[in-house]
A and B are shown apart, each in its own frame.
Chain A
Amino acid sequence: EAQVTQNPRYLITVTGKKLTVTCSQNMNHEYMSWYRQDPGLGLRQIYYSMNVEVTDKGDVPEGYKVSRKEKRNFPLILESPSPNQTSLYFCASSFGGSAGGHETQYFGPGTRLLVL
């Protein structure tokens, strides 16, 4: 089954404790992205990757890191989480890593993070 998976689905942590949210897709997509969803703000892009070893900042990258060592995986790293990073996080992927054009993005099920 074609899908985007995220782990963990739910996470409660404390301020400053490093954490990683994994994202994996089995559709051989070039493009992958992380979003956060907050009430009244919709989904905002954190980081994206056009292909392996190619990553760039989205609209709200502060406090996050990413890496893309393999095509299928795109982990989101919070080096020192803070309460304002409490949110619902979605990973997404699509074909077409090159700039230009429109491709449908497929989303993972989400990771709900609470930072105390």
Chain B
Amino acid sequence: DQQVKQNSPSLSVQEGRISILNCDYTNSMFDYFLWYKKYPAEGPTFLISISSIKDKNEDGRFTVFLNKSAKHLSLHIVPSQPGDSAVYFCAASEWEYGNKLVFGAGTILRVKS
């Protein structure tokens, strides 16, 4: 059973608008969450993370929100740009096994110009 779920396989957004990517998790021991971005023919690259002691973390156009009670996190991209078109993976880990990342299936984001 997948512990990290990204239920939307794809998302299409107009340039300049907000992109919202969602992720749900089932393991209550997860206390650190990350988003990775992947372009075709490249490896995933780290985008942004959030610890369970926070409910929001912001880095430029990217903001991650964490709702622990709902076991849900989301990545907001504002404004969306065509270069943001990529696959976005949500990942989670426990402090005890910090290097062990559990990934979601990914969401393909297409930003149309």
Contacts and interface: CB of A to CB of B under 8 A. Distances in A.
Answer yes or no: do A and B interact: yes
B101 A45 contact: yes
A92 B68 CA distance: 28
Nearest to B100: A45
Interface residues of A, number: 30
A43 B43 contact: no
B98 interface: yes
A44 interface: yes
A105 B103 contact: no
A42 B103 contact: yes
A96 interface: yes
Contacts of A50: 99
Interface in B5-59: 6, 9, 32, 34, 36, 41-46, 49, 51
Interface string A26-60: 00000101010000111111001010000000100
A48 B45 contact: no
Contacts, number: 71
A42 B44 contact: no
Given A43-B89, A90-B43, A109-B42, A100 B98 contact: yes
Contacts of A104: 34, 46, 49
B66 interface: no
Interface string B82-113: 00000001010101111111011110000000
Nearest to A40: B105
B105 A110 contact: no
B88 to A, nearest CB: 11
B4 A42 contact: yes
Which A-B residue pairs are the 9 nearest by beta carbons? Answer: A107-B43, A42-B103, A43-B103, A101-B98, A42-B105, A102-B98, A102-B32, A107-B44, A104-B46
28 contacts: A4-B43, A33-B99, A35-B103, A40-B105, A42-B6, A42-B89, A42-B104, A43-B101, A45-B101, A48-B100, A96-B99, A97-B99, A99-B97, A99-B98, A100-B97, A100-B98, A101-B95, A101-B98, A102-B51, A102-B98, A104-B34, A104-B46, A105-B99, A105-B101, A107-B45, A109-B41, A109-B42, A109-B43
